[in-house]
Amino acid sequence: MPKVVDHDQRRVEIIEAAWRTIARTGWDSATMAAIAAEAGFANGALKPYFATKDDLLAAAFDHIYVQTGRRMVAATAGKHGLAALRAYCREILPLDETTRDEARVVLPFWHKALTTAHLAARHERAMREWRTQLQRHLSEARDAGEVRTPIPDEDIVGHLLTALLGAQITATLMPDLETAQTLTTQLDAFLELLRGPAGTSCG
Amino acid sequence: MPKVVDHDQRRVEIIEAAWRTIARTGWDSATMAAIAAEAGFANGALKPYFATKDDLLAAAFDHIYVQTGRRMVAATAGKHGLAALRAYCREILPLDETTRDEARVVLPFWHKALTTAHLAARHERAMREWRTQLQRHLSEARDAGEVRTPIPDEDIVGHLLTALLGAQITATLMPDLETAQTLTTQLDAFLELLRGPAGTSCG
């Protein structure tokens, strides 16, 4: 009986091997051969799945996006308003080994996206979706009276997402300066600022 | 009489040609030959100045850092506290064609710095200096009573710098979503949040 290959499964194995390799050795050293070796496949076994390294990078980005989305769903389950917003943002921040590795793949992705329109479009689609979700949690926090600043939601969401993307840089390039601890403290400080003028303190 | 070559001047010309070429065509397409052509020099004329493209990238980063620093000095001249902080931050944001081009060079620099320790060290040195300056302006704003939030300075400065770095990504990869206008509005919104509980509104 011929061996049955689960192509979807194999595709995921390759993608996971790709981002592990890119995270560990960097984009330039992560050759198709190195990624095949990491996945435990023969050289050339990647070609039927990914014709080029750029295709693989796009797939790795999608994979990270989907994984992050799953974590967001789990982290925000049962939470509302500011607590949900905080949990959501924490899943974007590079706070552990896995998410720091993801950041080390996202940086090469951004670099490539600068000159590759379809990668930039992919990034923008993902970011628009995150904005929508951030806005949803923020709205809920406003309704619950947790956020009282008069700053428009749009500016808060834009600023917050920009800061979360910036953390991919600071956490990977300045790991001594920006730790899981400092990034969490900074996020909490920003969310605290959103509470705005406390009505109660004025009587 | 032999032609006198101003080596410092030529070095700067090469660096400026490099960042123009990288910004326009991307890192991969910006070959030493393409950069030499942009500078108006013969192929091979770069070698005595920069042995490798990585050396040139490091020099381009330093050049951008120095140029940004000059703009910061000019923009903050005669300003104090929050106004100085705002002017300083605006020079980091990619708000015009020149600074967006700089962001398109900084992204490849960050990508390379992920796997090149001396580039990462260069980046960290620059960021530590920016932090010190942000801290200085923030301190002045506190002293002037313009910033009243109880959030510690360290968290504000860390968050602010992270957001300013993130803007290099959003402004280059999502130019329709993050314009000079939205980035400025978001910065102003954040600075407004720092004012903290307004004593006057209660009294």
Nearest CA in chain B to A193: B193
How close does chain A come to B189, measured CA to CA in Å?
6
Q: How far apart are CA A155 and CA A142, in angstroms?
A: 14
- Inter-CA distances, B56 with A75, A103, B68, B150, B164, Å: 44, 25, 18, 44, 24
Nearest CB to B114 within list A104, A177, A197: A104
Query: Using an 8 Å Cβ cutoff, are A159 and B166 in contact?
Result: no
Contact (CB<8Å) A151/B111: no
Nearest CA in chain A to B168: A166
For residue B87, the model assigns a pLDDT of: 98
For residue B3, the model assigns a pLDDT of: 67
For residue B111, the model assigns a pLDDT of: 95
Q: How many helices (H) and strands (E) does chain A have?
A: 8, 0
How close does chain A come to B196, measured CA to CA in Å?
7
Chain A CB contacts of B155 under 8 Å are 182, 185-186, 189
Q: How far apart are CA B190 and CA B193, in angstroms?
A: 5
Contact (CB<8Å) B197/A198: yes
Contact (CB<8Å) B186/A162: yes
ipTM above 0.85, yes or no: yes
Q: How far apart are CA A113 and CA B170, in angstroms?
A: 12
Q: Which sequence spans correspond to the domains of chain B?
A: 7-51, 53-195
pLDDT tens for residues A67-100? 999 999 999 999 999 999 999 999 999 999 999 9
**Top-tier CATH class for B7-51:** mainly alpha
Nearest CB to B163 within list A26, A163, A203: A163
Is there a shared CATH topology between the B7-51 domain and the B53-195 domain?
Answer: no
Contact (CB<8Å) B178/A186: no
CATH node for A54-196:
1.10.357.10
Amino acid (1-letter code) at residue B7 = H
Q: Cα B2 to the chain's mean position, in Å?
A: 40
- List the single best residue of A29, A61, A105, A193 to mutate versus B (max B Cβ within 10 A): A193
For residue B196, the model assigns a pLDDT of: 77
Q: Which residues, including other chains, have CB under 8 Å from residue B74's CB and lie 6 or more apart? A: none
| DSSP SS3 for A126 | helix
Residue A61 pLDDT level (bands cut at 50, 70, 90): very high
Q: What are phi and psi of A116, to 5 degrees?
A: -130, 100
For residue A43, the model assigns a pLDDT of: 83
For residue B1, the model assigns a pLDDT of: 59
- Inter-CA distances, A123 with B34, B64, B97, B114, Å: 29, 26, 22, 20
Which of A125, A122, A140 lies closest to A76 in space, CA to CA? A140
pLDDT tens for residues B73-114? 999 999 999 999 999 999 999 999 999 999 999 999 999 999
The whole-number average pLDDT for the span A138-162 is 96
DSSP chain A: -PPPP-HHHHHHHHHHHHHHHHHHH-TTT--HHHHHHHHT--TTSSTTT-SSHHHHHHHHHHHHHHHHHHHHHHHHTT--HHHHHHHHHHHHS--SHHHHHHHHHHHHHHHHHTT-HHHHHHHHHHHHHHHHHHHHHHHHHHHTTS----S-HHHHHHHHHHHHHHHHHHHHH-TTTS-HHHHHHHHHHHHHHHT-S-GGGG-
Chain B CB contacts of A185 under 8 Å are 155
Chain B CB contacts of A190 under 8 Å are 159
For residue A15, the model assigns a pLDDT of: 94
Helix axes A32-39, A7-25, angle to 10 degrees: 120
**Cα–Cα–Cα angle for B111, A67, A35, rounded to 5 degrees:** 55
Chain A CB contacts of B114 under 8 Å are 26, 104, 107-108, 172-173
Contact (CB<8Å) B173/A107: no
Task: Give domain B53-195's CATH architecture.
Answer: Orthogonal Bundle (1.10)
Q: How far apart are CA A95 and CA A183, in angstroms?
A: 8
Query: Using an 8 Å Cβ cutoff, are A65 and A124 in contact?
Result: no
Q: Is the dihedral of CA A84, A86, A88, A91 positive or negative?
A: negative
Q: Count Cα atoms within 13 angstroms, Cβ side, for A102.
A: 20
Which position has the token pair 């400065």?
B157
DSSP B163-202: HHHHHHHHHHH-TTTS-HHHHHHHHHHHHHHHT-S-HHHH
- Please say if the pLDDT value at position A198 is more than 60: no
